[in-house]
Amino acid sequence: MSVQVMYSSSHQSLYGDMTLMEVEESPQHIQEIYVEDPAQCLEAVTRLKNVVIGSNRQKAICLRHGILPRVLSLLGESNGPEIRREACVVLGSLVKGTPENVRAVVDACSVPRLVGVFSTNDEQLIEYGLSCLTTIFKHEFAPKDVIFSDPAFVPRLLGLMHHSVLSQTCVATILSNSCSTAEQQHTLATHGVIPALGALLLSPDYKVQMPAISCLTALSFKNPSVSAIIVETFYDGKKVPDLLAHLLSRDKPPKMQLALGRCLTNLHRANAISSNDPKIVMRALPCLVRLCSREHDNETRILAAETLSYLIEVDKDLQLIASISNRLIPTLTDYLKCQPILSFSIKNTMSSSAQMYQAAYKTFASLAANDEGIRKRIIEQESLVERVVSGLDDQNEQVALAALRCLHSLSRSVQLLRTTFKDHTVWKPLMKLLQHSNHDMLNVASSTLCNLLLEFSPSKEPIIEAGGVEILCNLTRREDTGLRLNGIWALMNVAFQADQKVKSQILSSLGTDQIFRLLSDEEVAVVMKTLGLLRNLLSTPHIDHIMDLYGKHIMQAVILILEGDHGPDVKEQALCMLANIADGFTAKDFIMTNEDVLKKITSYLNHASPKLQTAAVLCVSNLAWKDEEGSVERQAKLKELGVQKLLHSLITTSDQNLFDRVKTALNQFSPN
């Protein structure tokens, strides 16, 4: 008799939307696996295996009828070896279905049961278990902590490698997919995984070599200590990196060449192999450039370009070599000609074409990071700037971010800022991106805007007119240190040689309270750029006007820095601010009427740091300038503090810059 279960009309079941569901009776091949007789059970589980292999529909039916507890129980040692093997094959088939099927198997706590079969002497059962576990561990939701919960498990896995080629392949793949954190990398390295992988590199079988390379790649990713172990590990008389480099040749399949290039790249970026090492210059880099060419499939080209971008990202010499290798720049430009930029991207998806664009933008960004000549060759490519600017509006955020990084590298060019960027009004999409919620996008967009706000950039004025000052002031209030730094850095650029109106706008929008918060920032770079901003605000001819409005607060800021626990670089900036104030006409009074500040300036004339002495001398020189009204009285006050005597004592300095400043300062004092 069937059982009927009533549902409300609003209920949607897991397998469909229905108001009345009749629970179907389990198929015969499922019912039969519950029999107790071993012979019948073996026959039933074999029949079940044959039903589910190759059919996702049958897999789903079996899972829906709850077979997993029974199949897992059949893996137990109390059952015969044939039953255990067939049960393991059933599990292996289920995890080769949909991701939902795999998750169901994982949620049933299958992994610990599979691990249990490795203690048997049945090599065939072990291989079935390894194969099933390998498939599971290719999914992100696999319970990888199982590998590390038992200290004896990794050595046990390594011990299984001698069973067969399949065992070697499976173990290397499982370890590779279990290696996503620094702690996991260290654990595997300390359990002797690296020498074992070195042995697999010498295998004649491609299927064994590839997962070994992948595991070494995962172990070395952004991990200097583990990478250092890899480069010092010997196998068969050769170091592991030499084994990798030996395998990296054109007669190997492109996928293997790419895997080897990625592994050597990770070792280099982890500072385990230098940039001038032949394994990098003569092997990895040329290989990755070559794999970007049209003769290879898109998947290979994309990953090759992404890896190349990472390889050369921070090294100027590698960028130069790559830029002249195998027509790389025109090749990457071809990546951007797949189809119109805005026609392929759907939000939160990444098509092959989108990946091509992203890879090209990233590699262009790395190539253009340091060298003006490379930037010029990139920008000369047909419609390159138009494509980069269009990429900023791409619906896929990853593509847009890559285009933005490319633009950031190109924005380091003085010539491009003056010409190409002006012609394409690059600042407009940048301003739009500054309203973005994506953290990385905001960071790169604000960094790029800093470059567009340099004094010689034609974009500076329209950015200010479009409300740039207020946007930048808001950035300085963000919790993220990078955004605060970019905001204050950009404001410093805005203030350089700006007119009085713009300077007043900056001070009004930023506010003195925020200036004090920035000067108290834990990040030294933020403090330095805030002082740089104040120096630019306090420049001729606006010194007196700014001090009339904000003098009290500015002097408090100077004292805050000079009395604080700051390094010489920071205090030098504060003293240079005082020198600017001392260069005003009425602004000088803010210093001359402040005994504490005068004493601090005097004390820095005796400082051990020549650059602090030089900054203090500059303050004195401006205060004592003899051609200005009131100089006699100011000189008298300074003499009273012993400033003139201290200047005479500094005339013997070996520091040329300090000597020149002292000589100029002494010339200002009237004869006694």
- Backbone φ and ψ for 16, nearest 5 degrees, come out as 160, 170
Q: Which residue has the tokens 């010339």?
A: 667
pLDDT tens across 267-306, in order? Answer: 999 999 999 999 999 999 999 999 999 999 999 999 999 9
Query: Which of 156, 140, 159 has its CA nearest to residue 148?
Result: 156
Do you know the residue count of the chain?
672
Cα 66 to Cα 643: distance, rounded to the nearest angstrom: 91
pLDDT of res. 350 = 77
Q: Could you tell me if 509 and 551 are in contact, meaning their C-beta atoms sit under 8 angstroms apart?
A: no
pLDDT of res. 162 = 86
CA atoms within 13 A on the CB side of 532: 18
**Residue 145, Cα to own-chain centre: how many angstroms?**
25
Sign of CA dihedral 552, 556, 562, 563: positive
| Cβ neighbours for 562, distance < 8 A, ≥ 6 positions apart | 571, 574, 575, 597, 600
pLDDT of res. 670 = 66
pLDDT of res. 339 = 67
Residue scoring higher pLDDT (146 or 290):
290
* pTM, two decimal places: 0.87
Phi-psi label, residue 218: left if phi above 0, alpha if psi -120 to 50, beta otherwise: alpha
**Residue 438, Cα to own-chain centre: how many angstroms?**
14
pLDDT of res. 671 = 66
pLDDT of res. 16 = 40
Mean pLDDT across 351-376:
96
When pLDDT is cut at 50, 70 and 90, the band that residue 203 belongs to is: very high
Q: Say whether 152 sits in a helix, a strand or coil.
A: coil
Mean pLDDT across 67-74:
96
The CATH architecture that domain 415-537 belongs to is Alpha Horseshoe (1.25)
**Residue 252, Cα to own-chain centre: how many angstroms?**
31
pLDDT tens across 611-628, in order? Answer: 999 999 999 999 999 989
Mean pLDDT across 121-143:
95
Query: Which of 583, 643, 634 has its CA nearest to residue 613?
Result: 643
pLDDT tens across 388-423, in order? Answer: 999 999 989 999 999 999 999 999 998 888 888 888
Q: Which residue has the tokens 């504490």?
A: 596
Cα 181 to Cα 219: distance, rounded to the nearest angstrom: 9
In the predicted model, is pLDDT for residue 15 greater than 50? Answer: no
Q: Could you tell me if 620 and 603 are in contact, meaning their C-beta atoms sit under 8 angstroms apart?
A: no
The CATH architecture that domain 545-672 belongs to is Alpha Horseshoe (1.25)
Domain extent listing, the chain: 415-537, 545-672
pLDDT of res. 422 = 84
In the predicted model, is pLDDT for residue 11 greater than 70? Answer: no
pLDDT of res. 348 = 47
β-partners of residue 22 are 4
